[in-house]
């Protein structure tokens, strides 16, 4: 019996993918903030004294309300003495941190570096339902201003594709910058960048928050075709029979327990005169039940988000193409649903991967590394300068780094390029090692390797498994198990549910 294996299926709720971009009018200005006519003025401030330089009446109100510039704290004020209807004062925590170096939002999002402006803008905008928004902060360059703009647009957007309303959009976004930065924003078309990057994040968030009965492998693949149709991106979809012809035993093995068949989607973006070729690989498990090594019910609750890597990769390629990136990109989305059934992969099974390696299955819940391995092999077969893969791969990532910081492994140069892009974008990522002694715990009695081993260093061990499939290529592996999905209350630029984390990092990496 096969349900919903239909090609060309469309999603149950409409998405804002195509129309969102044209809905916001973005301008940069060097005007006095007191004279901005807007529904909501968001001001990121270090302390009341510095606020006074920007606006006397605002500083007076802030003083009256005993506003502290604590990191991420937001104080809503009526627009007394200014033309804005409402004012959101968002603390940066900078003075406080300078005083005693205690843990602050800046530390959490920077680690260390720039990129916090996206978070401050989002905090001020979240929940306001304001159509006209102005942003002010100490934006040192176009990059800071872009970050703030993206944060505001993403925070305003509804996070649930089944509930989003038209009122969840900002119609007019004004960003206050000094004259030098305004000129830089003009020259570099920063408005277009804000729109493209925000759309990339919102598209990712939309896909991740979709129910798994709505977004299964073929539905995802059809969505990719639809999105890329108007862009210079070539899309190729391998169905189950093609996957068999191509010896993709990892993707087929993981997908065989589901009535919805697995897919491998390849995207190719080939600008003229490209100087380098980057390959991206995204984990696209549309639902991870664990398979026969079934997860407990509570652990399954968020497992619709196990395709975040694939969604992020798709959005990054789309954004890079829209921004005329000069890097050639080949991206692989490894799409499958991990389900238990009479046809499911069993612990004890031995499968043959794309690169010919035989893998003994010891835990069907370690499925991500299996689908990723085949896609990594395909990438490694090409003449690529670097491979970057991204996956909600291990619970151990959350044990090691918590739910806000992603782990990055791989060859040192690409790995460090990723963490530095991440810092610029306010997406916390931390470099982790791939100790070779761990490989021993994957030794199999019956095949080349087992798919799970020692529980210690589980995130690193998954990285060591993947390393077997990248040949001698320069490579980075990003584990976003925790940061991809926010189960708690919104914080910084992150809404509840899908966060879209890593999209900005990938685009930044592709463009540098």
The residues assigned a catalytic role are: 295, 369
How many other C-beta atoms lie within 10 A of the C-beta of residue 457?
22
**Residue 188: CB atoms within 10 Å:** 14
Does position 390 interact with ligand BES (CB under 6 A)? The reply is no
- What three-state secondary structure class fits 48? helix
Q: Does 291 bind ligand BES (CB under 6 A)?
A: no
Stretch of residues binding ligand BES (CB under 6 A), selected from 38-46, 134-142, 239-247, 363-371: 363-371
Residue nearer to ligand BES on the CB measure, 124 or 368: 368
Instruction: Classify residue 115 as left (phi > 0), alpha (psi -120 to 50) or beta.
Output: left
Report 304-333 residues binding ligand BES (CB under 6 A): 306
Kindly state whether residue 490 participates in binding ligand BES, applying the rule CB under 6 A.
no
Radius of gyration over alpha carbons of the chain, in Å? Answer: 23
Strands 86-91 and 132-136: unpaired
Among 15, 96, 288, 374, binds Zn ion (CB under 5 A): 288
Strands 328-338 and 277-288: parallel
* Residue placing its CB nearer to ligand BES in the complex, 354 or 450: 450
Q: Which two tokens stand for residue 414?
A: 């690409």
Contact pattern for ligand BES over residues 448 through 487, marking x by CB under 6 A: ----x-----x----------------------x------
Contact by Cβ (8 Å): 351, 241: no
- Do residues 436 and 465 make contact, with C-beta atoms less than 8 angstroms apart? no
Yes or no: say if 474 and 415 are a contact pair by the CB < 8 Å rule.
no
Return the range that interacts with Zn ion (CB under 5 A); candidates 301-309, 310-318, 339-347, 419-427: 301-309
Site for ligand BES in 1-30 (CB under 6 A): none
The nearest distance, CB 298 to ligand BES, in angstroms, is 11
Q: Which is nearer to ligand BES, 96 or 365 (CB)?
A: 365
Q: How far is the CB of 338 from Zn ion (least distance, A)?
A: 6
Half-sphere exposure of 256 (CA within 13 A, CB side): 19
Residues 360-389 within binding reach of Mn ion (CB under 5 A) = 365, 367
Residue 206 interacting with Mn ion (CB under 5 A): no
Q: Count Cβ atoms within 10 A of the Cβ of residue 129 and give its class: 0-12 exposed, 13-18 middle, 19 or more buried.
A: middle
**CA dihedral sign, ordered 479, 481, 485, 489:** negative
Write down how long the chain is.
Answer: 512
CB atoms within 10 A of CB 238: 21
Q: Output 169 or 469, the one with its CB closest to ligand BES.
A: 469
**Contact residue for Zn ion among 137, 291, 368, 492 (CB under 5 A):** 368
Answer with the entry of Zn ion, ligand BES, Mn ion, none that 396 interacts with (C-beta below 5 to 8 A by kind).
Answer: ligand BES
By CB under 5 A, residue 151 contacts Zn ion: no
Q: What is the DSSP letter of 494?
A: B
Is 337 one of the binding residues for Mn ion (CB under 5 A)?
no
Cα–Cα distance between 443 and 370 in angstroms, integer?
16
Residue 508 interacts with Mn ion (CB under 5 A): yes or no: no
Q: Which of Mn ion, Zn ion, ligand BES, none does 481 bind, CB closer than 5 to 8 A by kind?
A: ligand BES
- Cβ nearer to ligand BES, comparing 219 with 307: 307
Strand order in the sheet with 86-91: 25-29, 172-176, 132-136, 40-45, 86-91, 74-78
What, of Zn ion, Mn ion, ligand BES, none, does residue 497 touch, CB below 5 to 8 Å by kind?
A: none
If the CB atoms of residues 33 and 285 are measured against Zn ion, the closer one turns out to be 285
Q: Tell me which residue has tokens 């030098």.
A: 180
Do residues 393 and 306 make contact, with C-beta atoms less than 8 angstroms apart? Answer: no
Contact flag: residue 288 with Mn ion (CB under 5 A): yes
**Which residues have a Cβ under 8 Å from the Cβ of 408 and sit 6 or more positions away?**
415, 418, 419, 422, 429, 430, 431, 432, 476, 477, 478, 479
Residue in 312, 394, 411, 417 binding ligand BES, rule: CB under 6 A: 394
Nearer to ligand BES, 320 or 405 (CB): 405
- Of residues 213 and 299, the one with the C-beta less far from Mn ion: 299
Does position 427 interact with Zn ion (CB under 5 A)? The reply is: no
In the complex, the residues that contact Zn ion under the rule CB under 5 A are 285, 288, 306, 368
Positions that interact with ligand BES (CB under 6 A)? 288, 306, 363, 365-368, 392-396, 452, 458, 481
């Amino acid at each position: 019996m096969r349900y919903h294996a239909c090609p060309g299926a469309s999603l149950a709720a409409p998405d804002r993918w195509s129309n969102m971009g044209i809905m916001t009018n973005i301008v940069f200005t060097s005007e006095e903030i007191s004279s901005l006519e807007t529904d909501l003025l968001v001001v990121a401030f270090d302390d009341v004294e510095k606020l006074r330089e920007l606006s006397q009446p605002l500083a007076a109100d802030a003083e009256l309300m005993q506003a502290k510039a604590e990191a991420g704290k937001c104080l809503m004020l009526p627009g007394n003495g200014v033309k804005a209807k409402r004012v959101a004062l968002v603390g940066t925590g900078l003075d406080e941190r300078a005083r005693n170096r205690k843990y602050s939002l800046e530390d959490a999002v920077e680690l260390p570096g720039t990129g916090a402006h996206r978070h401050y803008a989002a905090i001020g905008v979240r929940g306001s339902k304001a159509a006209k928004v102005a942003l002010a902060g100490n934006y040192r360059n176009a990059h800071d201003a872009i970050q703030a703009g993206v944060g505001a647009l993403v925070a305003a957007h509804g996070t649930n594709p089944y509930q989003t309303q038209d009122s969840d959009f900002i119609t007019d976004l004004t960003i206050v910058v000094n004259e030098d930065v305004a000129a830089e924003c003009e020259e570099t078309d920063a408005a277009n960048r804000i729109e493209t990057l925000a759309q990339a994040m919102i598209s990712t968030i939309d896909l991740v928050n979709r129910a798994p009965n709505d977004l299964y492998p073929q539905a995802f693949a059809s969505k990719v075709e639809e999105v890329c149709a108007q862009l210079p991106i070539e899309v190729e979809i391998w169905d189950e029979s093609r996957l068999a012809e191509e010896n993709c035993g990892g993707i087929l093995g993981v997908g065989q327990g589901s009535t919805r068949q697995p897919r491998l989607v390849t995207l190719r973006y080939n600008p003229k005169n490209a100087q380098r070729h980057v390959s991206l690989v995204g984990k696209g498990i549309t639902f991870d039940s664990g398979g026969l090594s079934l997860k407990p019910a509570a652990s399954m609750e968020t497992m619709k988000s196990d395709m975040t890597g694939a969604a992020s990769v798709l959005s990054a390629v789309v954004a890079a193409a829209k921004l005329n990136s000069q890097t050639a990109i080949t991206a692989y989305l490894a799409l499958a649903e991990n389900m238990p059934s009479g046809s499911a992969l069993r612990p004890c099974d031995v499968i043959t991967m794309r690169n010919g390696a035989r893998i003994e299955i010891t835990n069907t819940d370690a499925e991500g590394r299996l689908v990723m391995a085949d896609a990594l092999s395909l990438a490694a077969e090409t003449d690529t300068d670097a491979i970057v893969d991204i996956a909600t791969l291990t619970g151990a990532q959350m044990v090691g780094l918590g739910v806000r910081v992603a782990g990055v492994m791989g060859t040192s140069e690409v790995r460090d390029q990723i963490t530095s892009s991440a810092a610029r974008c306010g997406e916390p990522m931390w470099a982790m090692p791939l100790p070779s002694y761990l490989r021993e715990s994957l030794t199999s009695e019956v095949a080349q390797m087992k798919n799970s081993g020692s529980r210690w260093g589980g995130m690193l061990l998954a990285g060591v498994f993947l390393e077997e499939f990248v040949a001698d290529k320069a490579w980075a592996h990003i584990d976003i198990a925790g940061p991809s999905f926010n189960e708690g209350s919104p914080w910084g630029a992150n809404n509840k549910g899908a966060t879209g984390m890593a999209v900005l990092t990938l685009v930044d990496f592709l463009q540098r």
